[in-house]
Chain A
Amino acid sequence: KAGVTQTPRYLIKTRGQQVTLSCSPISGHRSVSWYQQTPGQGLQFLFEYFSETQRNKGNFPGRFSGRQFSNSRSEMNVSTLELGDSALYLCASSSSSARGAKLFFGSGTQLSVL
Chain B
Amino acid sequence: TQLLEQSPQFLSIQEGENLTVYCNSSSVFSSLQWYRQEPGEGPVLLVTVVTGGEVKKLKRLTFQFGDARKDSSLHITAAQPGDTGLYLCAGFNNNNDMRFGAGTRLTVKP
Q: Which of A14-22, A63-71, A78-86, A98-106 is near enough to bind chain B?
A: A98-106
What is the CA–CA distance of A51 and B86 in the complex, to the nearest angstrom? 31
What is the CA–CA distance of A107 and B38 in the complex, to the nearest angstrom? 10
**A43–chain B nearest beta-carbon distance, Å:** 4
Asked if A107 and B41 make an inter-chain contact with CB atoms under 8 angstroms apart, the answer reads: yes
Asked if B102 and A102 make an inter-chain contact with CB atoms under 8 angstroms apart, the answer reads: no
> Does A26 lie at the interface of the complex (its beta carbon under 8 Å from any beta carbon of B)?
no
Which of B40, B96, B103 lies at the interface centre, i.e. has the most chain A CB atoms within 10 A of its CB?
A: B96
Partner of B44, one of A45, A56, A105, A108: A105
What is the CA–CA distance of A104 and B45 in the complex, to the nearest angstrom? 8
> Does B78 lie at the interface of the complex (its beta carbon under 8 Å from any beta carbon of A)?
no
Query: Which residues of chain A are within 8 angstroms of B102 by Cβ–Cβ distance?
Result: 41-42
What is the CA–CA distance of A107 and B37 in the complex, to the nearest angstrom? 10
Contact with B along A1-37 (1 / 0, CB 8 A): 0001000000000000000000000000000000100
Residues of A within 8 A of B (CB): 4, 35, 41-45, 56, 90, 92, 97-100, 102-108
Asked if A99 and B42 make an inter-chain contact with CB atoms under 8 angstroms apart, the answer reads: no
> Does B33 lie at the interface of the complex (its beta carbon under 8 Å from any beta carbon of A)?
yes
Query: Can you list the 10 inter-chain pairs with the closest CB atoms, starting with the nearest?
Result: A105-B42, A42-B102, A43-B100, A100-B31, A99-B96, A99-B92, A90-B42, A105-B43, A107-B41, A106-B42
Contact with A along B63-97 (1 / 0, CB 8 A): 00000000000000000000000001010100011
Asked if A102 and B45 make an inter-chain contact with CB atoms under 8 angstroms apart, the answer reads: yes
Asked if B48 and A102 make an inter-chain contact with CB atoms under 8 angstroms apart, the answer reads: yes
Partner of A92, one of B42, B50, B103: B42
Query: Which residues of chain B are within 8 angstroms of A97 by Cβ–Cβ distance?
Result: 96
What is the CA–CA distance of A43 and B40 in the complex, to the nearest angstrom? 14
Contact with A along B41-55 (1 / 0, CB 8 A): 111110010100000
Query: Which residues of chain A are within 8 angstroms of B41 by Cβ–Cβ distance?
Result: 105, 107-108
What is the CA–CA distance of A7 and B81 in the complex, to the nearest angstrom? 30
Query: Which residues of chain A are within 8 angstroms of B88 by Cβ–Cβ distance?
Result: 42-43
**A93–chain B nearest beta-carbon distance, Å:** 11
